[in-house]
Amino acid sequence: MEPKIYTGTPYPLGATFDGQGVNFALFSEHAESVELCLYNDTDEEVEVLKIKIKEKTHQVWHIYLNGIKPGQRYDYRVHGPYRPQEGHRFNANKLLIDPYAKAISGTVQWNDALFGYRIGAPEADLSFDDANSAAYVPKSVVVDNRFDWGEDQPMRIPMHRSVIYEVHVKGFTALHPDIPENIRGTYAAMGHPVTIAYLKELGVTAVELLPVHHFLSDRHLIDKGLTNYWGYNSIGFFAPDIRYASGGTQGDQVTEFKTMVKSLHAAGIEVILDVVYNHTGEGNEMGPTLSFRGIDNASYYRLTEDGRYYMDFTGTGNTLNARQPNVLRMIMDSLRYWIQEMHVDGFRFDLASALARELHDVDKLSSFFDVIHQDPIISQVKLIAEPWDIGEGGYQVGEFPPGWAEWNGKYRDCMRDFWIGADSMIGEFANRLTGSSDLYQGDNRRPSASVNFITAHDGFTLQDLVSYNDKHNEANGEDNNDGESHNRSWNCGAEGPTDNIEISHLRAKQKRNLLTTLFLSQGVPMLLAGDEFGRTQQGNNNAYCQDNSISWLDWKNMDSSLLTFTKSLIAFRREHPSLCRRKWFQGLPIRGTGVEDIVWFLPDATEMDDFHWEDDFARSLAVFLNGEGIRSVSQDGTKITDHHFYLLFNAYWEDVEYQLPDQRYGTSWIKVIDTNLDTISEHAIFEANSRVSVPSRSILVLMSS
């Protein structure tokens, strides 16, 4: 029985089920006509019903079908001019995914019919292809948003109390022996009690999931037997990717994702999504026509002056046109959807500088920031920028507006340099350790604007950082030419795996040094999944295409002592507000003590002077943190205080003897962390003015008794 057809409404965009039927709405400013195509569950190629949409309001084509239910599969065909030189690439032979689809039934099956032009034609993309692509395009799915959230509410863990865990949904559980095999690598596995128990014991407060928006695996990767494992190639900004669902193709992935979020929230763990709004998976002018390109290429993408080519600030072939009001609205609608319907707690924006470009320059007063800043929903969640893109002037660390946190690439580089003994200013080390005030304080931001990390998905793991001088990306099939060549890494004396006991011990200590530095630093620590137990990618620092044991966490061969050490570090940070301050150090005396909130010392216990900060060869220093100088109060107004701490850093290759300061700073000190050891516990007591030997390449943390 054919559904009854009504005019429908232009908003909300996408397919919206109201209990009786579905309203379909699609934005296209330049289309001449639009057809809605409905499909059943068995035939991917021939639609069971094709309806010409007659209503258009404010550039939105809309129709209402009474009797259509959740699970209905659909896509569009859009008619209009095919004039690439003018920016128009309409081709109604190509079936198109709804940009607002809440679920997508499958994945793209690569075929020449997916391209709007004839592959191999002399005119290249100026030619026109009339092959029907329906058999190869996944179908959009109508979903029912109803879900029993129970008492689930936004968690809003304060940013300065957060510990972020960057994790890939599939890679985290693909090899986990205690997760049922039939759900490994899925949202269900991510929300499984075994996973949640591990995350709670580790002590993290949020998981930052690598992209889960439905994405495209590039044809050249598929042809080589590889895939786009990381997922930075979105084609559906509202749809959780079906590849991470344990079963079902009719929108079941939406329910499974919500169940995962609900379970993580019940355990006190927030969910942050890594999102890619800077480009789509359709690539440049030689890419396929799957959705945006065929719906309204000139509106959705940033094009060059002649219209044929794409402006590429992302290295992927195209850049979404966030300056266009309807495209900006799509991004904002997507963000609100994930907050309100999927209950996520924040976002990390991939290549965020690309979104902030007005014409060519990055502009922190751009419409993108303005809209987010005034939005009562989006502005209240965690907003984290990857503050760079590949365009000129795209490196914008420290330049995002208030309300934003940033991946601090300068922190990563500085701390790696310090621990391999590279020549770098000791002053920068001090800045990074204390929250990078040189980057964030001047714009009324706080230390929590700095998301500190040593490693991330892009680059070496922690184990590989101390095991390889050079990248080893041969498995990627690009002759080891891909990936970063300057990694600020050190193999400690042998490239890759070794049986040398001394080298193995040094690597273990360097890992403890880097992790300890991360969790002693002001700002928000981010830990790459698996670094807590020594995960390796065999030297591959660009494993974006490795959906296999190179990328998956190896639970059977974990370093249990490193895992225990990391758990203790995270717990230590959580217990001591001195290490996660909400406000900046001021370097001023605290009333009643006469001692500043932070003081820097040379090994001989003399305070560091201005000229000491200019040393590019200094490897050793100490810092006093005054537990009376936190300058914050708890929610009930109680002044927050803590023990005093004396942190001793020695990145030098020989032991250094330190003298402790006088009794004004503390009468006695307990050694609570020693990175020469693989456990964290109280070890020894030192009196004021006594001498302490700090072994080569190590950290000692002393706490006032």
CATH 3.20.20.80 fits 159-274+327-578, yes or no: yes
pLDDT in tens, 426-485: 889 999 999 999 999 987 899 999 999 999 999 999 999 999 999 999 999 999 999 999
Give the tens place of pLDDT for each residue, 533-566.
999 999 999 999 999 999 999 999 999 999 999 9
Q: Which two tokens stand for residue 395?
A: 């490196």
10 Å CB burial of residue 260 (0-12, 13-18, 19+) is buried
Return the DSSP state at 125: G
Selected catalytic residue, list 386, 406, 428, 547: 386
The greatest distance separating any two alpha carbons of the chain, rounded to the nearest whole angstrom, comes to 90
Q: Is 360's pLDDT higher than 70? A: no
Could you give the CA distance from residue 373 to residue 503 in angstroms, rounded to a whole number? 50
Looking at CATH, the fold of the domain delimited by 586-704 is given as Immunoglobulin-like (2.60.40)
Token couple for 231: 């997922």
Our measurement of the distance from residue 680's CA atom to the centroid of its chain's CA atoms, rounded to an integer in Å, reads: 30
Both tokens of 74, joined, read 């659909």
Q: What pLDDT does 390 receive?
A: 72
pLDDT digits 0-9 by tens, 259-279: 999 999 999 999 999 999 999
pLDDT at 582 over 80: yes
- The encoded tokens of residue 311 equal 């402006």
Q: Which of 265-274, 309-318, 455-464, 488-497 has the lowest mean pLDDT?
A: 309-318
410: alpha, beta or left? (left if phi > 0; alpha if psi -120 to 50): alpha
Nearest to 77, CA basis, from 33, 107, 131, 121: 33
The half-sphere exposure of 335 on its side-chain side, counting CA atoms within 13 A, is: 25
Selection from 269, 293, 273 nearest residue 282 by Cα = 293
| 8 Å CB contact between 343 and 154 | yes
| Alpha carbon distance 648, 674 (integer Å) | 10
The pLDDT, as a whole number, for residue 543 is 98
- 681: confidence class by pLDDT, cuts 50, 70, 90: confident
* CATH number for the domain formed by residue range(s) 4-142: 2.60.40.10
Contact 317, 353 (CB under 8 A): no
- Close Cβ partners of 638 (under 8 Å, ≥ 6 residues apart): none
DSSP state of 290: S
pLDDT surpasses 80 at 394:
no
* Residue 425 near residue 615, CB atoms below 8 Å: yes
Of 408, 390, 389, 383, nearest in space to 398 by CA: 408
Q: Which pLDDT belongs to residue 412?
A: 97
Residue-level pLDDT at 263 = 98
| CB-facing half-sphere around the CA of 462: CA atoms within 13 A | 29
- pLDDT value at position 346? 98
Report which of 370, 373, 297, 381 is spatially closest to residue 337, judged by C-alpha positions.
381
When the pLDDT of each residue in the chain is averaged and rounded to a whole number, the result is 94
Domain residues of the chain, as ranges? 4-142, 159-274+327-578, 586-704
Q: Which of 241, 270, 350, 642 is flagged as catalytic? A: 350
Helices 193-202, 252-266: inter-axial angle, 10-degree rounding: 40
Nearest to 388 by CA among 421, 350, 424, 358: 350
- pLDDT at site 250: 85
pLDDT > 70? residue 592: no
Q: Nearest Cα to 371, choosing from 333, 339, 399?
A: 333
pLDDT tens-digit readout, 653-678: 999 999 999 999 999 999 999 999 98
- Residue 350 a catalytic site member: yes
- Nearest Cα neighbor of 620 from 645, 644, 655, 646 is 655
What does DSSP assign to residue 626?
-
If you ran DSSP here, which 8-state letter would residue 224 be given? Answer: T
Active site residue 386: yes
CA distance 388 to 401: 14
Separation CA 683–CA 698 (nearest Å): 15
Q: Which two tokens stand for residue 304?
A: 């060059």
Residue pair 361/355 in contact by the 8 Å Cβ criterion: no
Taking alpha carbons only, the member of 237, 226, 229 closest to residue 14 is 237
Q: Give the orientation angle of helix 325-340 with respect to helix 292-300, to 10 degrees.
A: 120
Q: What is the mean pLDDT of residues 375-399?
A: 87
159-274+327-578 matches 586-704 in fold: no
Mode of pairing for the β-strands spanning 14-17 and 4-6: unpaired
Q: Side chain identity at 39, as an amino acid letter? A: Y
Mean pLDDT of 127-152: 97
What pLDDT, in 10s, does the model give residues 209-256?
999 999 999 999 999 999 999 999 999 999 999 999 998 888 999 999
- Orientation angle between helical segments 560-575 and 501-520, nearest 10 degrees: 20
